[in-house]
Amino acid sequence: MTLGFYSELEKQLRFNRELAKIVVEKIKGLFTEYTVKTGIERLKIMDFCGTHEWSITYYGLRSLVPSGMELVAGPGCPVCVVPSHYIEESIKLALDGVVVYAYGDVYKLRARRSVRGAYSLSEARSLGGDVRIVQDILSATRDAAGHGKPSVFIGVGFETAAPAYAWSILRKHLPVNLKLLILVKLTPPAMFYSLEVSREKPTEPPINGVIAPGHVSTITGAKAWTPVSENYGLPVVISGFEPLDVLVSILEIMKQLVEGKAETVIEYKRSVSWHGDLRAQNAINKVFEVVDDAWRGIGFLPKSGLRLREEYRLYDAFYEYGVRELKPVEWEKDMPPGCRCAEVVLGKAYPTQCPLFMKACTPQKPVGPCMVSIEGTCAIWARFGSRDLLLRITNEVKTSKG
């Protein structure tokens, strides 16, 4: 019964074209009203989650919104922001005989410097390192318990990944030979930083509204984003991931802009509550401490990462293997030459503005980190195109015919 209801709802959200047309017309109407009222003709809305960027690009939502409205992606891909330093440290572990467990996209992520000839865990494996791809920590746990060799699981992710890591410790699931290299990042500090940066360039339209992440908010609750509406004066909508979810969220942002409001609103009510998942939050707080952390291409952001608390050192790969923490003094943006990923993750550049996009850098042979993961903006644009890209290709075809 419940399943039936949800599948019906999903179907409507996905395929209700008539409803989509109505929402799009309303967005256009409000956009015109806002322009007439304020004289502002360009608006920028930032989505913060790789899956939102995927929906926007895959379903071509940019082609539906008014031409003066830009939809830009923020730092919503946890793999894209893992500093090269930690990839290098993981490669070292693999080449020193430790079994390393990594997600598929972390496995392909390229470091800035090679470690004994390897730039990635994938290359470390071809040089003899024992690197195993897993989809979750449970698979690593089972596998490591089976062979008993010294092992490390690379725990990348945002707030959504942290509960599983915490529970694996609290429920004593981890075998003694498996240690965790926890590299979890917290999203609100990165959003606040993106908003600051968007105000630095007076020629650019600043960000006028935010589509906040749905999955992360399931854990943190909508309350995590109230500083965006209260301190930055921007409408925030926590959105689901179907195309209609995103369109309705844009409509809500436009409605608030026209009414001069700045509120945090939940559109993704079927999953997100105001206070979030308290059980998950408790587990996270128990096991992890909040630290200043480095984001690749961005820098050190205060209180933006999680590491295991001292009492859980038994499980900590940093402690067990002397993995070195990156220090603010040695921070460098660590992007490959020519890569504009640092700007892409802050919504300051589109992937198509990078000279390497789909030339030297492709999903098959990624140069920068945004081209690796399916949540990376460059990888999404490469796979599913963009209005900008389509227009350019159309013009090129027209010119070559002419």
Q: State yes or no: residue 378 binds ligand SF4 (CB under 6 A).
A: yes
Tell me whether residue 231 or residue 353 sits nearer to ligand SF4 (CB atom). Answer: 353
Q: State yes or no: residue 72 binds ligand SF4 (CB under 6 A).
A: no
Is 193 within 8 Å of 298 (Cβ atoms)? Answer: yes
Among 137, 344, 345, 380, the residue binding ligand SF4 under the rule CB under 6 A is 344
Tell me whether residue 248 or residue 380 sits nearer to ligand SF4 (CB atom). Answer: 380
Tell me whether residue 57 or residue 208 sits nearer to ligand SF4 (CB atom). Answer: 57
Among 95, 323, 371, 389, the residue binding ligand SF4 under the rule CB under 6 A is 371
Q: State yes or no: residue 109 binds ligand SF4 (CB under 6 A).
A: no
Q: State yes or no: residue 356 binds ligand SF4 (CB under 6 A).
A: yes
Total interface residues for ligand SF4 by CB under 6 A: 14
d(CA 343, CA 239): 24
Residue 357 beta carbon to ligand SF4: minimum distance, rounded to whole angstroms: 4
Q: State yes or no: residue 317 binds ligand SF4 (CB under 6 A).
A: no
Stretch of residues binding ligand SF4 (CB under 6 A), selected from 15-23, 225-233, 255-263, 348-356: 348-356
Q: State yes or no: residue 157 binds ligand SF4 (CB under 6 A).
A: no
Tell me whether residue 11 or residue 359 sits nearer to ligand SF4 (CB atom). Answer: 359
Residues 6+ apart with CB under 8 A from 107: 120, 121, 122, 125, 131, 133
Q: Which residues pair with 236 in a beta bridge?
A: 210, 264
Stretch of residues binding ligand SF4 (CB under 6 A), selected from 23-31, 92-100, 313-321, 337-345: 337-345
Among 218, 340, 345, 347, the residue binding ligand SF4 under the rule CB under 6 A is 340
Residue 172 region, left (φ>0) first, then alpha (ψ -120 to 50), else beta?
A: left
d(CA 110, CA 125): 13
- Comparing C-alpha atoms, which of 259, 287, 63 is closest to residue 167? 287
Task: Return the number of other C-beta atoms located less than 10 Å from residue 329's C-beta.
Answer: 6
- C-alpha pair distances (Å), 57 with each of 41, 61, 73: 23, 6, 10
Q: State yes or no: residue 287 binds ligand SF4 (CB under 6 A).
A: no
- 372: which DSSP letter? T
What the block records as the tokens of 363 is 């999903």
Stretch of residues binding ligand SF4 (CB under 6 A), selected from 97-105, 141-149, 310-318, 354-362: 354-362
Residue 97 region, left (φ>0) first, then alpha (ψ -120 to 50), else beta?
A: left
- Comparing C-alpha atoms, which of 250, 244, 164, 194 is closest to residue 76? 194
Q: State yes or no: residue 76 binds ligand SF4 (CB under 6 A).
A: no
**Cβ-based burial of 54 (10 A; exposed 0-12, middle 13-18, buried ≥19):** buried
Q: State yes or no: residue 161 binds ligand SF4 (CB under 6 A).
A: no
Among 81, 257, 354, 380, the residue binding ligand SF4 under the rule CB under 6 A is 354
Among 46, 64, 154, 339, the residue binding ligand SF4 under the rule CB under 6 A is 339
Phi, psi of 303 (to 5 degrees): 50, 50
Task: Return the number of other C-beta atoms located less than 10 Å from residue 297's C-beta.
Answer: 23
Residue 315 beta carbon to ligand SF4: minimum distance, rounded to whole angstroms: 33
Q: State yes or no: residue 77 binds ligand SF4 (CB under 6 A).
A: no
Place of tokens 């090129």: 396
Tell me whether residue 118 or residue 361 sits nearer to ligand SF4 (CB atom). Answer: 361
Sheet holding 236-238, edge to edge: 69-73, 43-47, 209-212, 236-238, 264-266
Stretch of residues binding ligand SF4 (CB under 6 A), selected from 120-128, 214-222, 302-310, 360-368: 360-368
Site residues for ligand SF4, window 40-69 (CB under 6 A)?
none
Q: Note the residues at the interface with ligand SF4 (CB under 6 A).
A: 339-341, 344, 351, 354, 356-357, 361, 367-368, 370-371, 378
